[in-house]
A and B are shown apart, each in its own frame.
Chain A
């Protein structure tokens, strides 16, 4: 029997050793690890190119062991489009928050998805603008209190929260779109599978891939990490159902034809 010591869980090679700036309990760190593990498992770290947004993950380039671009707010999909079109052989991914992708960058993400750009987008949805201190985002829930809707989001005045995966799934262009969460081990495992699958599809040049990841924001939700997990489970997930909304291998899902 082999009694040698074996490491069965360690920091992926695609993650640097830098201590992140994310708040304690913020699940950005888990999502970073899952992306890094995907890059490692597919062996593509050395030909990967990440595009960081503006927001909490603006400093993502310090945490990944691959080349990175830092995009203007909301424009990461455009940078990724420009890069991927010239280097289709490289694995390109954008890592964006809900303010970056669903607000200022809405046009860029919709048109990148509609053109079927062959890059992967990791879309982190924590229902607030984190970096700037917890303002209302397009994904903020009705009645949710933030620093710019202190009486709770009034949907009569600001409209309803936007479900990005469903919105993008209405496009006819093929894509792989799934919403996952990372607040419990079981969900983390599902998220890992989805993220790895997205990068696999990209390495096969299949289609545009986007994974929406529900994520916690203890600091700006005004909750402890544990309370944040509970709120995500009860409130966020009830409005943003998990699951795959579009997959080239599952045509029975919504393929955009009405």
Chain B
């Protein structure tokens, strides 16, 4: 995927760097630990980032651990195919600008990916050190370091092709696509439904994990390259597909993201202060309900249950602690081993005083006379046989039901694709799950001028997979438009 790079392995400086110390010496360096804010301070602030980032010394030392393998497997674990040893070796030689330039060759959002990618399941899981029973190179920390500590080099502008393409949605898939297409010389316009650019990076992921300023910086970089952004514009509503074609757009990338929150369909789920994680996080992150200066209200629960075990559940429980909850409980029906959230998020949540009620499943919510939730009834579970996902499936322990007092419940059990665009373009084929049906290779939909990627196709995945889709769609669309 990554053929053109300013820092190939054969570069003389890399050869010299490889020879400068032995692999054995490199392997003897201990993996860096990410400096973190103390947990008791963290819970008092919504906006201070928990992970503080590496110092230059730490980053250079960590970069030295990388063996610069002849056949680097880490790259195969990256959905956007970053030249990982290339950027790391630039950090080792303290050329941070080139390190960022290498990252920007394939990723429009390195400062974002360095923070929110599940590296332990991707690039770092393929690191040669794993085979040597040593901790992987901290690729994610290094990526973030380069993105935060270098000025974005302005890539040479490609000759303009005079071909207009549109993007519906300004989340990770849309931004990644926009970055690739503008670099290829297309005129790119991104339409966003909300009043802020960034999609889930703004409304979903809290600032203590991904500061808005970091997202803004990446968006500004795209703007500098010539990408146009229009907020408050919904494709299929404000502008129809036909309007876009009439405006001269030759193709559209639909990256409208996840939509409707899922609920469990249990009694009492519509009581007051039972909310989706989407609602809770949107109020706090996008609308700044935690700040007195902003008009949007949010309930500040004191005893909060978060239902679910994914990253969104972790974002919700940690936000609830910061919003003043005394007791926050994550209720998850399987055991901790099956929890889909990143290990780091679970660790951070636990440090911040979040309790984990694993092997519990809510079966009903109870309310006071005004309809405000006051308790949940939990069914104890145990692990049975593995299910289709390979995880041992939870089965109820008969008769083991307990009642736990709560004054707020945040339901975080997944989302369905956003129905706005599929319902506005009747000819657009969708799957049984309501996602846009696309060709796996090209991400082209049933309408030849419409491509789609990210959660509108995947139903609910990660930032980096969405970005990978953006790249893939850009490559396929560019080819189709230029052939």
Does chain A bind chain B? Answer: no
Chain B interface (Cβ within 8 Å of chain A)? none
| Residues on A facing B (Cβ under 8 Å) | none
